[in-house]
């Protein structure tokens, strides 16, 4: 199989390439970009010497034609036009937000502009979702924050152990903000400092979290979500809490989580008493998870660490690719990270 | 006035010295330490050349005698014995936890061992507290996390705008864990990684937060508290949420916060839309604060940034010292930070 | 006295303001900017709440008129025009490069465009230089790297203890590159990585180092200079080596350094065996210095740490201001840093 | 083939495991440790879920017996005793310093204690060395700094383009100092700060660099070496300079480097004008290299970036293993890194 990447000069594109270089069943085809078209890839992804001499093409139908898979790592709002020109036989995997939401009004409220539609949602761990991805030819890769929050809380909601009033605070590395230079993302501003942003329900990933958790819970779940920019390049550490269902015990909670992750290749419930660190997952497709019952406060507290670019973006995209193409789900995806 | 510092080789001690060096009314007297006694201060605080040649003494009654103020920056459980031997005329300011809690059972549960007692609580911004500190000769400096959380939420609870079911996630720099070398605090472990710890109501600062907020609210407040170790040396960024009181409007919320900080020299409500970063407060005694009403989720969300060693420890200690001694509250305390 | 700052929205401007806020003899007057004119200062320097409401003016003759001191923190090439319109009675302190070099050809080679001239060089520690600054009404503040390298090696060259074949490798924090957003300065690029740049004699600060050291040595000194961008916000750590003069002993070397720093308020020779760290000088005007004789390699090795924004820019500027205005040289300048 | 790792709880051990997990021809056998024996590996290497349940054994002959390869990642001075009990048919690869030096006097001067001997030196890129590793059953893995410096300068010395008076300043991440907790390695000390150590020819890696470069140059080379601890977890960026040979041109220099790396799978000469960053090599076995001629200063300046734990330790060890065992040299070794 052959894969093209549209948006190969950015962080998501670079991570897709890093992973695909080790994928035994997918060959890397055309690499395209916007303003960087014409540059050698090495000018943008100097950590990938194997591809240093590959030249970035313009993002045109011709360039993307003739591939089995096309990954779109484009700014929001650009995926629909590109997808339209690709045939129905091509697997199109969108790392952007365009096709994640089912609710057109929520899309328009949070993103502006018309809603492009809804594609099969690329989070295989979401109960029932894996089957919907088999044979799919369109996949909407989840946002990095929604991936983390959904994986942290679906076991509780699926088992009816939590009330639908969720509070999430998630620290993310700076790569989550992308590669466009902005003053507040300068190294001198970011290092040594933590800062909140998109507070009070204004972050675009909020409705996606609510969509996922409501589906699992079978009733509307609201999420108070606060993202925090932390002084690191990669990683999300999400602390996710919800009121405990009446009578919940710590043992029942842990049992539900153990059962939920049992057959999941990329979900890892840590030994009791060990809490996730993003360094446990750097560069890997693993989500490190822990949960406890705070009996004083009457809340379920789940903490999860993922690599925002791997499980949170490119790794998740390849995991869904594998399922859609009928390959083994784990193919080409690292379980183990790089530390320290 | 002359001040002694017991525990001058640690981080709290170093920050006390940095601030006192610029204090116009307090002279630095004896510096004592535990295992570092006999060393020149320069071996432990190389950023303070003005005091490099001062020799650390053993922490004895003789060394601490004859000072107007004695700061205790000792491991938990050691302050009572030292305080006892200092006369009632000496102002003793304890940067440790020994005298912060009123509830002996909570003390014993969270810290172990017998409760040493309760001293006037050194958080002048807590409604009614400033008066209790005037003329005090014993002061319990608040914990760094409780300082941040209490300052972030007291305006809401004092005005009856929030329900007593608080969720806090707070990122802290590594200096909050002190100077004793432990494997998980190594630079190679900490850099590039965020990790949760003390999750599920087990962190010792939890009952202190509840004590403060319950007092302001006039009814029991529970706090679900998750601390996060972030890859930075200093700073706390606390995201604090509570259910909004029925009928609360964003305008009423902001008004209450504006009124609460109006006469506070060290509380700063940021302009609307600007969210706190710890870099705004590095090295200063200022708390940078912002609040919003998340109408989707029905919650008040307050975010605060402080320097854990300044406003969170040594600066707070000196602020209370100033009040206790009848000096101007702001004396010797920096309002402005060091950035970038 | 009253000081205006042209370029108050950048890093040098912010550091000037931080220091001037604590200067007992200088009041802060007009603050001007380029594209940020019209903004409140708080939008650009959120760590300075004392000045948050001050509005940035356009950089015009009218705005800068009527001040005793005008600090220019402008992009290279803009200082001459502004200085011209300020009267000869006004002390103009240029934090840019325009007036640092004596050699017009070197200027044109390294900076391009015509050489604006040469002003008294604001490095009081350079032998003989302090007297030239007394009463000066124009001062060229040294570059941050040349400040560090000159202070590290002048004692050796002044005493004839080193040969003029200098090799310098200096790590700098990202604030040295300024506040304009560029892709390679993004936090996600900078964190966790060290990179060399301007290698092979191409960095603009090279001729300035050679100018200073040649003057001290009394013969031409060449410098092989390699700057390194290190993952930190502030600080320069410069490792400076030169062949030892024949017969040099370690004792003689140390003696020369001890003598050279003896009466210097901001130079600190560390105790033997202690090597500088930038954290020793963060936020202070102190240079932390150590030297040794590598007998195997036959080289003098001097290492120095400074804060690039304080001693390396704004602190150095104020130190020269104090001398030029006849104030005490140390006035308003912190000796002690902020750590950890 | 089956490999045992003695010292599996440390950083070198962890990196060996990370790489061996992806090695198609080597299976992971016994894992041993010192004081951590009895622990599950997951307690020490939480980034390696694939091995989380493996239990660390005591480092005994029995545990290490029956393997084709035994990796020793032990504190200095412990390898000889362990190696002795392993048969001559076992490939023993020592990641420690015990068998690196040929000069017993240099060993005793820099390390203390008796010299254990000299094993084939595991740096295949050193001219002539690759052949000496074929079929070897003992390999001394080079130190991380000597790996970087030797790779940066051997092309110049092999071609006679540089004089033997080398100056090196190399920034290293904190993992180079190992996993034993020490106060100066605490995150709060390391973050935001760069510091020199082992200055003046006292660092133990100095004689190893001189041994390598002297061999290539065919005459004694002296190295003035200054290591710098930089605020990052991984990576070495070494700036290496030497006087240019008379008449050297930039073109000839580049040509020599291009020729030297041409057939080397893990040496990468960057495009002209691009300088190495450690982020280009994180997690990979690649060395990123650039060189220039500083005509002003008359020096060759070569800069190299490696991952100290991969190419600098574990990757280098596996590269030599592959050669010794007759496998393809690149087997199981990542060319591409993880960034940002």
Please state the three-class secondary structure of chain D as a single string.
CEEEEECCCCHHHHHHHHHHCCCCCCEEEEEEECCCCCCEHHHCCCCCHHHCCCECEECCHHHHCCCCEEEECCCCCCHHHHHHHCCCCCEEEECCCCCCCCCHHHHHHHHCCCCCCCCCECCCCCCCHHHHHCCCCEEECCCHHHHHHHHHHHHHHHCCCECCEEEEEEEECHHHHCCCCCHHHEHHHHCCCCEECCCCCCCCCHHHHHHHHHHHHCCCCEEEEEEEECCCCCCEEEEEEEEECCCCCHHHHHHHHHHHHCCCCCEEECCCCCCCEHHHCCCCCCEEEEEEEECCCCEEEEEEEECCCHHHHHHHHHHHHHHHHCCCCCCCCCCCCCCC
Write down the pLDDT at residue A76. 85
The pLDDT of A90-109, averaged and rounded, is: 96
Query: For chain B, which residues lie within 8 Å of any Cβ of chain D, measuring from their own Cβ?
Result: 11, 173-175, 177, 179, 181-183, 185-192, 231-234
Residue A79 CA to residue D84 CA, distance in Å, equals 63
Cβ distance D279 to C195 less than 8 Å, yes or no, reads: yes
Distance in angstroms (rounded) separating the CA atoms of residues B201 and B217 = 20
**Domains of chain D, CATH where assigned:** 2-141+313-325 (3.40.50.720), 145-306 (3.30.360.10)
Taking an 8 Å cut-off on Cβ atoms, the answer to whether D282 and C192 are in contact is yes
Question: What pLDDT, in 10s, does the model give residues D156-186?
Answer: 999 999 999 999 999 999 999 999 999 999 9
Q: What is the pLDDT of residues C1-57, one digit of tens each?
A: 999 999 999 999 999 999 999 999 999 999 999 999 999 999 999 999 999 999 999
Identify any residues that bridge with B227 across adjacent strands, giving them in sequence order.
Answer: B170
| Per-position DSSP letters for A105-137, written without gaps between them | HHHHHHH-S-------B--TTSTTHHHHHTT-S
pLDDT tens figures, D49-96: 999 999 999 999 999 999 999 999 998 888 988 999 998 999 999 999
CA-based nearest residue in chain A for residue D283: A338
Which residue from B minimizes the CA distance to C336? B48
Considering only CB atoms, C239 lies closest to which of D169, D186, D223, namely: D169
> Peptide bond before A340: cis, by omega within 30 degrees of 0?
yes
Residue B186 has its nearest CB partner, among D174, D232, D234, at D174
Mean residue pLDDT across chain A: 97
Report the residue from A175, A191, A234 with minimal CB separation from C232.
Answer: A191
> Nearest C-alpha of chain C: how many angstroms from B49?
6
Q: Is the pLDDT of residue C206 over 90?
A: yes
Q: How far away is chain B from the Cα of D87, in angstroms, using its nearest Cα?
A: 35
| C188, C190, C229, best to mutate vs chain A, most A CBs in 10 Å | C188
**CB pair distance less than 8 Å for A223 and B299:** no
* Measured CA angle at A196 (ends A194, A200), to 5 deg: 165
pLDDT at res. D340: 97
Interface of B with C (CB under 8 A): 11, 14, 18, 21, 42, 45-50, 175, 191-192, 233-234, 268, 270-271, 274, 277, 279-284, 286, 288, 335-340
User: Model ipTM?
Assistant: 0.97
Q: Determine what percent of chain C is predicted with pLDDT higher than 70.
A: 100
Is it the case that residue A87 has pLDDT exceeding 90?
A: no
Name the DSSP class of C51: G
Q: Are strands A299-306 and A236-243 parallel, antiparallel or unpaired?
A: antiparallel
Catalytic choice (B91, B144, B216, B300): B144
- Please answer yes or no on whether C279 and D193 come within 8 Å at the CB atom: yes
- Per the prediction, chain D carries an average pLDDT of 97
Confidence (pLDDT) at D76:
85
Is residue C208 scored above 90 in pLDDT?
yes
Task: Answer yes or no: B240 catalytic.
Answer: no
Tell me: the pLDDT tens digits for D138-149?
999 999 999 999
pLDDT exceeds 90 at position C87: no
Report the pLDDT averaged over residues D218-240. Answer: 98
Four-residue CA torsion sign, A32, A34, A40, A44 = negative
pLDDT digits (tens, 9 = 90+) for C218-241: 999 999 999 999 999 999 999 999
Q: Which of C51, C97, C141, C144 is catalytic?
A: C144
Which of D185, D186, D339 has the highest number of chain B CBs within 10 A, making it the mutation to test binding with B?
A: D186
Residues of chain A in contact with residue B239, where contact means CB-CB under 8 angstroms, are 169, 196, 199, 226, 228
Strands (E), B200-326: 222-229, 236-243, 267-269, 287-294, 299-306
Of C179, C192, C232, Cβ closest to residue A186: C179
Q: Is pLDDT at B76 greater than 90 in this prediction?
A: no
Beta bridge partners of C171: C228, C237
Confidence band of A122 (pLDDT split at 50, 70, 90):
very high
With an 8 Å Cβ cutoff, are C174 and A191 in contact? yes
* Residue whose pair of structure tokens reads 């909570």 in the numeric block: B106
Separation CA C274–CA C300 (nearest Å): 16
Which residue is closest to D10 within chain B, CA to CA?
B183
What phi and psi, each to the nearest 5 degrees, are found at residue C250?
A: -60, -40
- Closest alpha carbon within chain B to D46: B189
Of B50, B281, B338, Cβ closest to residue C18: B338
At B302, the pLDDT band (50, 70, 90 cuts) reads very high
pLDDT recorded at residue D77: 87
> What is the distance in angstroms between the Cα of A168 and the nearest Cα belonging to chain B?
9
Contacts of C134 (CB under 8 A, 6+ apart): C323, C324, C326
Name the token pair of A129: 């979702």
How close, in Å, is residue D240 to chain C by CA atoms? 9
Neighbors of chain C by Cβ distance (3+ pairs < 8 Å): A, B, D
CA distance A200 to chain B (A): 4
Shortest Cα distance from B279 to chain C (angstroms)?
Answer: 7
pLDDT at C132: 98
pLDDT the model gives residue D225: 98
Mutating which of C183, C196, C281, C304 best tests the D interface, going by the most D Cβ atoms within 10 A?
A: C196
Q: Are C315 and C253 in contact (CB under 8 A)?
A: no
Taking the CA of residue A7 and the nearest CA in chain D, the distance in Å comes to 16
Beta-strand relationship, C222-229 and C195-196:
antiparallel
Which of B156, B165, B168, B196 to mutate against chain A (most A CBs within 10 Å)? B196
DSSP 8-state secondary structure symbol assigned to residue B76: T
Show which subunits contact A, needing at least 3 CB pairs below 8 angstroms: B, C, D
Among A71-80, C136-145, D211-220, the range scoring the smallest mean pLDDT is A71-80
pLDDT digits (tens, 9 = 90+) for C307-322: 999 999 999 999 999 9
Best of B297, B304, B306, B340 to disrupt the A interface (most A CBs within 10 Å) is B297
Chains B, C: CB contacts within 8 A come to 81
Is there a contact between C233 and B288 if contact means CB atoms under 8 Å apart? no
Please, which chains are in contact with B (at least 3 CB pairs closer than 8 A)? A, C, D
Q: Which residues pair with C195 in a beta bridge?
A: C229, D277
As a whole number of angstroms, the distance between CA D249 and CA A124 comes to 59
Active-site entry in D4, D144, D149, D171: D144
Cβ separation of D292 and C199 shorter than 8 Å? yes
What is residue B77's predicted lDDT score, i.e. its pLDDT? 87
Residues of B whose CB is below 8 A from A165: 297
Residue B87 confidence (pLDDT) above 90 = no
Evaluate if residue B115 carries a pLDDT over 90: yes
What is the C-alpha separation between D319 and A182, in angstroms, rounded?
A: 41
Type and span of the H or E element at B58: strand B57-58
Beta bridge partners of A27: A2
| Distances from the Cα of C272 to the Cα of A307, C275, C314, D196, angstroms | 45, 8, 29, 14
CB distance C192–D294 less than 8 Å? no
The distance of A215 to chain B (nearest Cα, Å) reads 17
Of B42, B282, B286, the CB nearest to C338: B282
Bridge partners (DSSP) of residue A171 are A228, A237
Q: Which residues in chain C are contacts of B269 at CB distance < 8 A?
A: none
Chain A residues within 8 A (CB-CB) of chain C?
11, 173-175, 177, 179, 181-183, 185-192, 231-234
Chain C residue with Cα closest to B284: C47
Per-residue pLDDT tens over the stretch B122-147: 999 999 999 999 999 999 999 999 99
pLDDT band at A257 (very low <50, low <70, confident <90, very high): very high
Point out the residue among B173, B181, B234 whose CB comes nearest to the CB of D183.
B181
Q: Which of A335, A338, A340 sits opposite D49 (nearest CB)?
A: A335
Chain A and chain C share a number of CB contacts under 8 A equal to 71
Q: How far apart are CA B323 and CA C170, in angstroms?
A: 46
């Amino acid at each position: 199989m052959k894969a093209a990447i549209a948006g190969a000069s950015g962080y998501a594109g670079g991570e897709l390439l890093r992973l695909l270089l080790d994928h035994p069943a997918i060959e890397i085809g055309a690499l395209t970009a916007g303003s960087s078209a014409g540059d050698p890839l090495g000018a943008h992804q100097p950590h990938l010497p194997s591809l240093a001499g590959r030249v970035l093409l313009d993002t045109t139908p011709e360039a993307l034609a003739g591939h089995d898979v096309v990954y779109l790592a484009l700014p929001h709002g650009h995926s629909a036009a590109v997808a339209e020109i690709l045939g129905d036989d091509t697997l199109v995997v969108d790392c952007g937000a365009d096709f994640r939401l089912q609710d057109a009004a929520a899309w328009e409220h949070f993103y502006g502009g018309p809603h492009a539609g809804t594609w099969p949602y690329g989070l295989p761990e979401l109960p029932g979702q894996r089957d919907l991805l088999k044979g799919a030819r369109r996949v909407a890769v989840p946002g990095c924050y929604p991936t983390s929050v959904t994986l942290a809380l679906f076991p509780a909601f699926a088992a009816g152990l939590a009330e639908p009033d969720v509070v999430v605070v998630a620290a993310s590395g700076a790569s989550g903000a992308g590669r466009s230079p902005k003053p507040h993302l300068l190294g001198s501003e970011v290092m040594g400092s933590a800062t909140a942003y998109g507070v009070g329900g204004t972050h675009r990933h909020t409705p996606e979290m609510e969509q996922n958790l409501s589906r699992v819970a079978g009733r509307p779940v609201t999420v108070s979500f606060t993202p925090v920019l932390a002084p690191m390049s990669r990683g999300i550490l999400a602390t996710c809490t919800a009121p405990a269902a009446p009578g919940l015990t710590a043992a029942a909670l842990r049992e539900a989580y153990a059962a939920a992750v049992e057959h999941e290749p990329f979900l890892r419930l840590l030994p009791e008493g060990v809490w996730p660190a993003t360094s446990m997952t750097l560069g890997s497709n693993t989500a490190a998870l822990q949960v406890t019952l705070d009996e004083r406060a009457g809340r379920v507290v789940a903490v999860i660490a993922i690599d925002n670019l791997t499980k949170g973006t490119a790794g998740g995209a390849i995991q869904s690719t594998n399922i859609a193409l009928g390959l083994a789900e784990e193919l080409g995806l690292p379980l183990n990270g790089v530390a320290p």
